[in-house]
Amino acid sequence: MSTLIHNAMIVTMDPELRVYANGALFIKADKIHAIGSSSHILNQFSAEAAEVIDLCDRILLPGFINTHVHTSQQLARGIADDVDLMTWLHHRIWPYESQMTEEDSYISTLLCGIELIHSGVTCFAEAGGQHVPGIARAVECLGIRGCLAQSTMDAGEGLPSSWEKETAKSSIQIQEELYKNLHGTADGRIRVWFGLRQILNATDDLLFLTKEIADKFNTGIHMKFLTRMNM
């Protein structure tokens, strides 16, 4: 399958930061094969293209990257509005998240992903989700890229009872299995990072062990560390 897209302002974001006021690109086997002025690309590839799309003066640019999103919270909209941070966490969001199943996480991520795509986002960093296998299944279906991290906490007040039994060691073991099972899946679109939900809910042991395991696998860490208490 080959597609030629033309008559668009193309912002390449390449090292030279080239912009084509009236540009076109030719896509072949899901890869950008050529990019340039509309006249040049049409002249060279229109006969080969199975589909030709006129973008009619729209702007074409690489997909955006959302660097902090909680896919598990897509289904929670409206349940925690207009409350302070601790009420939001202890009485709304954490009780909701602690009851989620893997299927809930899959559906929530599908809905979140649809919204991301609609906004031009093609890659996201999960800030700490529930049931990462469900998140990964949705990412594979959506065709986007994701850096996925498990919601990980081993300290702090107000944790749901099902989360209180987690220790630094058990949290790392769970995430190591996620890495081994999911990292690099979906044709390489899924990466697994190690998660620290926020520094308020992490012991020193968890912080140090997370750094060690991330270094071992040469992968990333996602952590929130500038939480505003008066939100």
Spatial CA neighbour of 69 closest among 143, 123, 106: 123
Let me know whether 170 and 218 are in one domain: yes
**Which H or E run includes 123?**
strand 121-126
Let me know whether 9 and 106 are in one domain: no
Handedness of CA 143, 125, 151, 110 (dihedral sign): negative
The CATH number of whichever domain residue 43 belongs to comes to: 2.30.40.10
Cα torsion through 137, 117, 65, 16, rounded to 10: 130
What pLDDT score does 162 carry? 85
Let me know whether 117 and 41 are in one domain: no
Does position 95 have pLDDT exceeding 90, yes or no? yes
CA 157 to mean position of chain CA atoms: 28
Let me know whether 21 and 94 are in one domain: no
Let me know whether 45 and 118 are in one domain: no
In a domain, 8, yes or no: yes
In a domain, 46, yes or no: yes
Let me know whether 48 and 69 are in one domain: no
What pLDDT score does 224 carry? 87
The values of phi and psi at residue 96, to 5°, are: -60, -50
The values of phi and psi at residue 120, to 5°, are: 90, 10
* DSSP, residue by residue, 178-208: HHHHHTTTTTTTEEE-EEEEEGGG--HHHHH
Rounded to an integer, what distance in angstroms lies between the CA atom of residue 117 and that of residue 143? 10
What pLDDT score does 20 carry? 97
Let me know whether 68 and 55 are in one domain: no
Domain end (from 25, 43, 60)? 60
Domain end (from 60, 80, 103)? 60
Q: Which residue range(s) make up the domain with 46? A: 2-60
In a domain, 80, yes or no: yes
Structural tokens at position 105: 């996480």
In a domain, 230, yes or no: no
Rounded to an integer, what distance in angstroms lies between the CA atom of residue 92 and that of residue 199? 20
In a domain, 106, yes or no: yes
CA 162 to mean position of chain CA atoms: 26
Let me know whether 24 and 102 are in one domain: no
What pLDDT score does 114 carry? 98
> Taking residues 93-116, what's their average pLDDT?
97
Band (230; pLDDT cuts 50, 70, 90): low
The reported pTM is: 0.89
Residue 211: count other Cβ atoms within 10 Å of its Cβ.
Answer: 13
In a domain, 231, yes or no: no
Let me know whether 53 and 72 are in one domain: no
What pLDDT score does 56 carry? 92
Does position 161 have pLDDT exceeding 70, yes or no? yes
Number of folded domains in the chain?
2
Band (229; pLDDT cuts 50, 70, 90): low
Does position 231 have pLDDT exceeding 80, yes or no? no
Let me know whether 24 and 136 are in one domain: no
* 6 three-state secondary structure: strand
What pLDDT score does 228 carry? 64
Rounded to an integer, what distance in angstroms lies between the CA atom of residue 171 and that of residue 163? 10
Secondary structure tally for the chain: helices H, strands E: 8, 10
In a domain, 24, yes or no: yes
Q: What is the largest CA-CA distance in the chain?
A: 66
Cα torsion through 22, 28, 34, 40, rounded to 10: -50
What pLDDT score does 227 carry? 67
Q: How does the average pLDDT of the chain come out, rounded?
A: 94
Let me know whether 79 and 169 are in one domain: yes
Let me know whether 107 and 147 are in one domain: yes
Band (131; pLDDT cuts 50, 70, 90): very high
Rounded to an integer, what distance in angstroms lies between the CA atom of residue 224 and that of residue 136? 21
In a domain, 107, yes or no: yes
Domain end (from 60, 79, 109)? 60
